[in-house]
């Protein structure tokens, strides 16, 4: 039982976001006794993914802004005279300015199988309406509605110590049969997906869509478990730190990935595809032959720019956009390089930073596909859970819905010595890691946070229609006004297991200058048109139809200095929430830096040992029969429908 935990650990981690989960896995792997707790009822914190009904539950929770669990009233009495307490926050204040919009028609003749439908309103359903809708939904906050996954690992999921074991990347073209089955993946299927396939009857598409491209809100509710909606929208660079860590630690076997199939650009009011590889460049019909030669020459230079300092030294002090104008590139090519390869703005980076970003983009091409990026099946929320599984394999203990009342600090030494949990139990530890959102206002009174503007949209088709309806795209829309920021758009199709068939899930992200709606709505209006009844019959409509939308602001604590927090003991470490960057490098760097402070002489997430190599005390004991080994027997079989790619060799220089 969670109220009967061991009284002492080496490391206590509070919060199950990506950095905390990586650190917990690394500490457990190095032999530390780890307790990993979260007051929420789901893994991931602000890195989580939800089914549609789970997202409505999350919205209701943040609208009410109530405590997740009851507070132990007598915890103050457990503080001794030579101790003092640092109280932790009882509410999550990282999400603000939540606004929900529903444009899809509500078919009143159909019975909605899942509660939670918003009333039809072509104007806006503001945050107040959202609260009312969530109240009327009466959605139970249960594990199945929130897509949580247990950290208990079946025998066939044991990590392998094969150094060549790498990521599993699927082809983007997925048949309907494969899309409806989760058991062909090497990852542990999410709870919601299991329930979908076993317990929730799904009607045939022809019955659900009497008219072409018509998706009702009732249908979204019925197919709600097909959605896996990320709170934070990111991609993985194929040569980024997180990919390297997944391969090194063999955590990659718990997840499955897809290539991003297209890099898009928004120029002159139209969405265009950006040629990335050599083949794309020479096959492109958008570029003239002269432009193709110009682009290839410049990209070749970017790959080797450090070897030719004379060609850029004179431009180091100017912006990358100004430098591009000196390189005999047409305005079209300058735009592609600046916004779709370097992924920066006219005023966003220096020449060196732009060249470095472009080189990183090019180096990631071709490792696993035709673009530099990968996306995890079932959403970004799978990644923290993967590292939680690794931690659990090596003995880490997990408790969701388990809040911590305070940190107990010894006055004499000035170090934290224990926590007191919701049951009043005192648990001793040497090191404590706390996610920023758990710190109280008193602790954070001098902290200046940035904000991230987020939007999540459900649409009926892609922003750039092609022969295939299974495209995964990233698009950067540049800022138009001073003081605003470029907006990153990631469009996911149903083969990513994040949305229902016939729909697209679109994520918009930028650094906040105002509220999320004020920052992102202009871009939404450029790319999409709201669904209306009169447009159902109009099959030639140019823009995709917007069926449902959510706007919210999320706290960005990634650049907060430790010195900004008030009176934190030296053995209390703070992990930040998600940042606004496209990749996950900040989370990995942060996790490794904190791990080195806790275990300075240990390797960071080394591969787990092969079960056959584990030496046990008894001569006749088999590895799979021993509980002390903490490793079940590995399964060397690979599912037939999965594409198991080995770690690509580094190119010779």
Q: SS in 3 state form for 107-128?
A: CCCCCCCCCCCCCCCCCCECHH
pLDDT level of residue 533 (50, 70, 90 thresholds):
low
pLDDT at 29: 95
In this prediction, residues 79-88 reach a mean pLDDT of 89
pLDDT at 99 over 90: yes
**Per-residue pLDDT tens over the stretch 534-564:** 455 555 567 899 999 999 999 999 989 999 9
**Per-residue pLDDT tens over the stretch 399-414:** 999 999 999 999 999 9
* Residue 482: exposure state from Cβ atoms within 10 A (0-12, 13-18, ≥19): exposed
Q: Report how far residue 360's alpha carbon sits from residue 354's, in angstroms, rounded to the nearest whole number.
A: 10
pLDDT at 467: 80
Domain boundaries defined on the chain: 8-92+378-447+559-598, 277-364
**Per-residue pLDDT tens over the stretch 499-532:** 999 999 999 999 999 999 999 999 999 999 987 7
| Residue corresponding to tokens 């020459």 | 297
Q: Report how far residue 55's alpha carbon sits from residue 392's, in angstroms, rounded to the nearest whole number.
A: 27
Higher pLDDT, residue 106 or 359: 359
Q: Which 3 state secondary structure label does DSSP give 456?
A: strand
pLDDT level of residue 311 (50, 70, 90 thresholds):
confident
Q: Shortest CA distance to 365 belongs to which of 307, 299, 312, 305?
A: 299
In this prediction, residues 581-610 reach a mean pLDDT of 93
Q: Which 3 state secondary structure label does DSSP give 278?
A: helix
In this prediction, residues 129-150 reach a mean pLDDT of 36
| DSSP per position, 485-545 | --EEEEEE-GGGTSS-TT-EEEEEEEE-SS-HHHHHHHHHHHH-EE--GGGTT-TT-SSPE
CA angle 454, 455, 459 (to 5 degrees): 160
**CA 596 to chain centroid:** 24
Higher pLDDT, residue 316 or 425: 425
Beta strands per DSSP E along 154-309: 169-170, 229-230, 236-237, 257-259, 262-267, 270-273
pLDDT at 75: 72
pLDDT at 168: 62
Report which DSSP code applies to 464.
S
| Residue corresponding to tokens 């047409």 | 330
pLDDT level of residue 493 (50, 70, 90 thresholds):
very high
pLDDT at 492: 97
Query: Would 8-92+378-447+559-598 and 277-364 be classified into the same CATH topology?
Result: no
Q: Which 3 state secondary structure label does DSSP give 236?
A: strand
Q: Shortest CA distance to 475 belongs to which of 438, 499, 507, 446?
A: 507
Contact indicator for 386, 255 with CB cutoff of 8 Å: yes
**Residues whose CB is less than 8 angstroms from the CB of residue 100 and which lie 6 or more positions away in sequence, other chains included:** 59, 118, 125, 126, 127, 129, 130, 133, 548, 549, 550, 551
Q: Shortest CA distance to 606 belongs to which of 252, 253, 248?
A: 248
pLDDT at 146: 30
pLDDT at 247 over 50: yes
Beta bridge partners of 426: 420
Contact indicator for 5, 35 with CB cutoff of 8 Å: yes
pTM: 0.80
pLDDT at 643: 38
pLDDT at 155: 35
pLDDT at 476: 94
Q: Determine the angle formed by the axes of helices 18-29 and 382-393, rounding to 10 degrees.
A: 20
Q: Determine the angle formed by the axes of helices 18-29 and 241-249, rounding to 10 degrees.
A: 30
Element (H, E) at 454: strand 450-459
Q: What percent of the chain has pLDDT over 70?
A: 74
Q: What percent of the chain has pLDDT over 90?
A: 56
CA dihedral 495, 496, 497, 502 (to 10 degrees): -50
pLDDT at 626: 35
Q: Report how far residue 216's alpha carbon sits from residue 353's, in angstroms, rounded to the nearest whole number.
A: 46
**Per-residue pLDDT tens over the stretch 182-217:** 333 333 334 444 443 444 444 444 344 444 557 899
**Per-residue pLDDT tens over the stretch 6-53:** 999 999 999 999 999 999 999 999 999 999 999 999 999 999 999 999
pLDDT at 137: 38
pLDDT at 246 over 70: yes
**Per-residue pLDDT tens over the stretch 456-485:** 999 999 999 888 888 999 999 998 888 889
**CA 355 to chain centroid:** 27
CATH 1.10.645.10 fits 277-364, yes or no: no
Q: Which has the minimum average pLDDT: 86-90, 494-498, 605-609, 636-640?
A: 636-640
Average of per-residue pLDDT values in the chain: 79
pLDDT level of residue 370 (50, 70, 90 thresholds):
confident
| Residue corresponding to tokens 């958008």 | 286
What fold does the segment set 8-92+378-447+559-598 form as a domain?
A: FAD/NAD(P)-binding domain (3.50.50)
Q: Report how far residue 542's alpha carbon sits from residue 530's, in angstroms, rounded to the nearest whole number.
A: 12
Q: Which has the minimum average pLDDT: 77-91, 339-353, 505-519, 531-545?
A: 531-545
pLDDT at 357 over 60: yes
pLDDT level of residue 236 (50, 70, 90 thresholds):
very high
* Residue 304: exposure state from Cβ atoms within 10 A (0-12, 13-18, ≥19): exposed
pLDDT at 567 over 50: yes
pLDDT at 584: 96
pLDDT level of residue 613 (50, 70, 90 thresholds):
low
**What own/partner pairs with CB < 8 Å and gap ≥ 24 does 109-115 have?**
110/216, 110/218, 112/218, 112/221, 112/222, 113/200, 113/221, 113/222, 114/53, 114/221, 114/222, 114/224, 115/53, 115/139, 115/221
């Amino acid at each position: 039982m969670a109220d009967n935990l061991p009284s002492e650990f080496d490391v206590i981690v509070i919060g199950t976001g990506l950095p905390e989960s990586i650190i917990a896995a690394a500490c457990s792997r190095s032999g530390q006794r780890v307790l990993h707790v979260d007051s929420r009822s789901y893994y991931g914190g602000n890195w989580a993914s939800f089914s549609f009904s789970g997202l409505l539950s999350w919205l209701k929770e943040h609208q009410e802004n109530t405590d997740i669990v009851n507070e132990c009233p007598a915890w103050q009495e457990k503080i001794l005279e030579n101790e003092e307490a640092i109280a932790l926050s009882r509410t999550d204040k990282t999400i603000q300015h939540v606004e929900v919009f529903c444009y899809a028609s509500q078919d009143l003749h159909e019975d909605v199988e899942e509660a939670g439908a918003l009333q039809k309103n072509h104007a806006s359903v503001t945050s107040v309406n959202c609260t009312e809708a969530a109240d009327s939904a009466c959605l139970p906050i249960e594990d199945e509605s929130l897509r949580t996954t247990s950290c208990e690992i079946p025998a066939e999921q044991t990590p392998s110590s094969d150094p060549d074991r790498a990521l599993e990347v699927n082809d983007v073209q997925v048949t309907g049969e494969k899309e409806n089955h989760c058991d062909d993946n090497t990852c542990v299927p999410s709870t919601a997906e299991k329930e979908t396939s076993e317990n929730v009857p799904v009607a045939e598409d022809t019955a659900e869509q009497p008219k072409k491209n018509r998706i009702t809100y009732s249908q979204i509710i019925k197919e709600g478990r097909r959605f896996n909606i990320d709170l934070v929208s990111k991609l993985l660079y194929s040569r980024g730190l997180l990919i390297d860590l997944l391969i090194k630690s063999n955590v990659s076997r718990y997840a499955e990935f897809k290539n991003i199939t297209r890099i898009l650009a928004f120029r002159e009011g139209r969405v265009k595809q950006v040629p990335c590889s050599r083949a794309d460049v020479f096959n492109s019909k958008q570029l003239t032959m002269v432009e193709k030669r110009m682009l290839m020459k410049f990209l070749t230079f970017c790959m080797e720019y450090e070897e030719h300092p004379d060609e850029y030294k004179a431009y180091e002090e100017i912006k990358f956009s100004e430098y591009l104008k000196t390189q005999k590139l047409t305005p079209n090519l300058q735009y592609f390089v600046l916004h779709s390869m370097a992924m920066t703005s006219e005023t966003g980076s220096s020449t060196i930073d732009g060249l470095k970003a472009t080189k990183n983009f090019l180096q990631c091409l071709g490792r696993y596909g035709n673009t530099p990026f990968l996306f995890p099946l079932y959403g970004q929320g799978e990644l923290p859970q993967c590292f939680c599984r690794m931690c659990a394999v090596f003995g880490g203990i997990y408790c969701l819905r388990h809040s911590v009342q305070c940190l107990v600090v010894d006055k004499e030494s000035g170090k934290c010595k224990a926590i007191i949990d919701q049951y009043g139990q005192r648990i001793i530890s040497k090191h404590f890691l706390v996610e920023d959102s758990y710190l109280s206002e008193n602790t954070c009174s001098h902290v200046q946070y940035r904000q991230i503007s987020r939007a999540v949209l459900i649409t009926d088709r892609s922003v750039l229609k092609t022969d295939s309806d299974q495209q995964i795209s990233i698009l950067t829309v540049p800022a138009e006004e001073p003081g605003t920021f470029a907006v990153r758009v990631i469009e996911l199709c149903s083969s990513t297991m994040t949305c229902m068939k016939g729909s697209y899930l679109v994520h918009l992200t930028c650094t906040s200058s105002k509220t999320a709606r004020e920052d992102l709505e202009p871009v939404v209006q450029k790319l999409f048109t709201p669904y209306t009844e009169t447009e159902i019959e109009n099959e030639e409509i140019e823009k995709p139809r917007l069926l449902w939308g959510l706007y919210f602001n999320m706290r960005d604590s990634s650049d907060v200095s430790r010195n900004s927090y008030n009176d934190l003991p030296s053995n209390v470490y703070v992990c930040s929430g998600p940042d606004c960057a496209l990749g996950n490098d900040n989370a990995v760097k942060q996790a490794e830096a904190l791990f080195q402070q806790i275990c300075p002489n240990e390797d960071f997430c080394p591969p787990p040992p092969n079960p056959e190599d584990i030496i046990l005390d008894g001569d006749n004991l088999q590895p799979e029969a021993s509980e002390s080994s903490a490793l079940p027997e590995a399964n060397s079989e690979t599912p037939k429908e999965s594409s198991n790619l080995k770690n690509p060799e580094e190119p010779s220089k």
